[in-house]
Structure 1
Amino acid sequence: MDSLTQLALGAAVGIAVMGRRTAAWKAALWGGLCGTLPDLDAFIDHGDAISNMTLHRAESHALFFLTLAAPLLAAAIAGLHRDRAHFGRWWVTVWLALVTHPLLDLMTVYGTQLARPFSDFPFAVGSIFIIDPLYTLPLLAGVILALVAWPGRGLRWNAAGLLLSTGYLAWSVIAQQHVTSLARASLQAQGLAARDLLVTPAPFNTVLWRVLVLTPDGHAEGFYSLLDDTPHISFERFPHDTGLLPRLADNLPAQRIAAFSHGFFKLEQRDGQVRITDLRMGLEPSYFFSFVVAEQRDGRFEARPPLPVGVRPDLQRTGPWLWRRLLGEPLPSPR
């Protein structure tokens, strides 16, 4: 999730755990800082663009390493405030602020490597977009009210914000499963073979959903709004150059994207260059993570340092479409 959301979640956790044992601003400050700490890995350069992408949310988001770091950070905080009597409570506060960060990231589609150093599998539920105001605003409101209200009443407002935001996460999973069942039924009705299926929310909401389908010869894309009049989902198909993958078997960057995306990628050849694109983030034909990984020379493909060529969707074009499609208007996908 975005940094503001992680800050708000960490602050809310800090206030909830510390309660009246310390000033609300101290609990919010240290909870918020610990809640954003794992994302400092974004400033680490791993040598190339694909490594930077696939190693984000790695060790700094691993539950094992965060658990090891928690008592050290808690001891520093308790020592700074001369509050060693509450060291145990600070320990719990720091640990929860740290681990709720990757657990929240888990709910997005990007991929979070929770199990390092034992596994580098990128776990992802994909039921919430990386920025969703309906999740963030209750947290922010609860924290702000906790800081300005009387202590007892402020703690109740903070708890209410945590409860509402957690309930919204649960709702996102329920909505995702509902759309997934509709998508499977639509695929079966249309006789469209699916190797795999991914359902993720469109930006900033959990009403409009994007359905991504891997087919034997490419992928298909459809959209469904919970406000649609019909449960039918229409799909637009996009062929892939399936002959490219065997020729890139020794291309490590391409293989890393293939694994990190759980197979939801496409390969294409343009102007003598081979591009690999993570299909999970974006919408056809604009994707955030797309890289040139090889160049054709003398009839064969030679690996090259990954070159980012991803583009963000044009909000002036897609923004109005997203809003109208969210409201249930049957519109074709923006191209």
Structure 2
Amino acid sequence: MVIKASLLPAIFLLVYGHTLSANKLDSLTHMALGACLGEITAGKRLGKAALLMGAVAGNLPDLDVLAALWLRPAANLLAHRGFTHSFTGIALVTMLLAFMMNKWHQRNMQYRHWVWFIGSQLLLHIVIDACNAYGTGWWEPFNHTRVSFNLLFVADPLFAIAPFIATLILLVKHGSYLRRKPIAAVALSCCLLYVVQAIVCKAVINTRFNRQLSTIPGNTVQRYFTTPSPFNTWLWYVVAETGSGYYTGYMSVFDGKAGMPLHYFPRNNQLLRGVRDTTELRHLLRFSKGYYTIVPVENYFVFNDLRFGQAGGWYDAAAPFSFHYYIQSPEGNMMVLQRGRFAGWSWPVLRSLWQRIRGT
């Protein structure tokens, strides 16, 4: 069976997308990064155990997902990537775990070695998380501002592939630390280079989008943001806020010089007058950073957070937003992010994504 080269990216995205059903690949990415970093920081002293311990340590901040067992969905949105993803939180956890590991597992590792091993894992985790749109509470509990650099989609195969391959090689490869360390170092270097090229792509998109903002009627843009579309850093979702709503669109770094059409969504703030002011609603407003629309559906309202893009928005400008929250029906908001972010993927959708990435 011969597969056309042009279909290979779509095949890779399809396989990759289907493994993402519960945001599992985000955890797998952290595990692979943690394993590679563990090899570099402790492989000499721990051997292959550094891979396993690094993979575990690389995911520790995400234990905050357990808060979903007792918190309401809106509150859980802010609890996730909150204190456990702050510099204060990782400092406390690092010192505590380093003390415990130094007491129970003294094999060639002193306290300072454990501090370096655990601290570097946790720091890498919160830096990577800050690269996507969700927002990370670096400054908790002293400041509730959440950091979002909007450089990577939450699961990007091109970012993750190098540490995955390196981890598999390191698991089966025998030899001295000096022969194993370069494999992990190359994998992490590839990730760093990928982030650098994402910064370059974002700069290109921002420059083009800034030029196009002057064409918006009334030139009333108050602020804007750009963030990658699923699984790549070449097609970007762009949003410009005006006084009453938002202009959204998708721009590829391979597009021609002509500006892309933008679609307008009214904020519909007036609809909130009919909604009781609740802690849940205040959580949603804070979580969205003010990028939201309210849409009436049957006998209730839907809160859309624009930061997470649209489900297939690159081929349907009026596509629904990935993050949608039923204000008067909180029991229907379980897995609120995953249900929209990874819903509806199919061959036609992936082909349209690949075609749009290639530019117009």
Range class of TM-score, shorter chain: 0.7 to 0.9
Alpha-carbon distance, 1:254 to partner: 2.0
Out of 241, 259, 266, the residue aligned to residue 239 of structure 1 is: 266
Verify: 1:311 aligned to 2:340, yes or no: yes
Looking at structure 1, the residues matched to 42 and 326 of structure 2 have their Cα atoms a distance apart, in angstroms, of 49
Using a 3 Å threshold, how does the CA distance of structure 1 residues 124 and 8 change in structure 2: closer, same or farther?
A: same
Verify: 1:180 aligned to 2:210, yes or no: no
RCO greater where, 1 or 2, for CA within 8 Å and sep 6 or more?
Answer: 2
Alpha-carbon distance, 1:252 to partner: 2.5
Looking at structure 1, the residues matched to 224 and 320 of structure 2 have their Cα atoms a distance apart, in angstroms, of 19
Q: Could you tell me whether the CA contact under 8 Å between 2:267 and 2:292 is conserved in 1? A: no
Alpha-carbon distance, 1:190 to partner: 4.3
Verify: 1:20 aligned to 2:48, yes or no: no
- The one-letter code sitting in structure 2 at the alignment partner of 1:29 is L
Instruction: Between 120-129 and 79-88, report the one with greater CA deviation.
Output: 79-88
Within a 5 Å distance, the mapping from 1:184-203 to structure 2 comes to: 184-191=210-217, 192-203=219-230
Q: Which residue of 2 aligns with 1:300?
A: none
Q: Which residue of 2 aligns with 1:276?
A: 303
Alpha-carbon distance, 1:209 to partner: 0.8
- The one-letter code sitting in structure 2 at the alignment partner of 1:52 is N
Within a 5 Å distance, the mapping from 1:229-308 to structure 2 comes to: 229-246=256-273, 248=275, 250-283=277-310, 284-294=318-328, 305=330, 307-308=332-333
- Give TM-score, length-normalised by structure 2: 0.82
Within a 5 Å distance, the mapping from 1:1-335 to structure 2 comes to: 2-23=26-47, 25-45=48-68, 46-83=70-107, 85-147=109-171, 148-151=173-176, 152-191=178-217, 192-246=219-273, 248=275, 250-283=277-310, 284-294=318-328, 305=330, 307-308=332-333, 311-312=340-341, 313-316=343-346, 317-328=348-359, 330=360
Alpha-carbon distance, 1:3 to partner: 0.3
Give the SS at the match of 2:226: strand
Q: Could you tell me whether the CA contact under 8 Å between 1:142 and 1:162 is conserved in 2? A: no
Q: Alignment length, in residue pairs?
A: 319
Q: Deviations over 1:13-43 (max 9, x none)?
A: 11111242231x1111111101111112112
- The one-letter code sitting in structure 1 at the alignment partner of 2:319 is P
Q: Could you tell me whether the CA contact under 8 Å between 1:182 and 1:233 is conserved in 2? A: no
Using a 3 Å threshold, how does the CA distance of structure 1 residues 306 and 250 change in structure 2: closer, same or farther?
A: farther
Q: Which residue of 1 aligns with 2:15?
A: none
Give the SS at the match of 2:257: coil
4+ residue runs of structure 1 moved beyond 6 angstroms? none
Looking at structure 2, the residues matched to 250 and 227 of structure 1 have their Cα atoms a distance apart, in angstroms, of 45
Alpha-carbon distance, 1:215 to partner: 2.4
Q: Could you tell me whether the CA contact under 8 Å between 2:45 and 2:108 is conserved in 1? A: no
Q: Considering fraction of residues, name the structure with more strand.
A: 1
Q: Deviations over 1:231-272 (max 9, x none)?
A: 522211122323124555823322222221111111122223
Give the SS at the match of 2:110: helix
Looking at structure 2, the residues matched to 72 and 190 of structure 1 have their Cα atoms a distance apart, in angstroms, of 53
Q: Deviations over 1:117-159 (max 9, x none)?
A: 1112221111100011111111223333344153312111111
Q: Could you tell me whether the CA contact under 8 Å between 2:136 and 2:147 is conserved in 1? A: yes
Q: Deviations over 1:54-92 (max 9, x none)?
A: 211112212212111113222333444432653321220
Looking at structure 2, the residues matched to 171 and 249 of structure 1 have their Cα atoms a distance apart, in angstroms, of 45
Identity, % of aligned positions: 26
Give the SS at the match of 1:2: helix
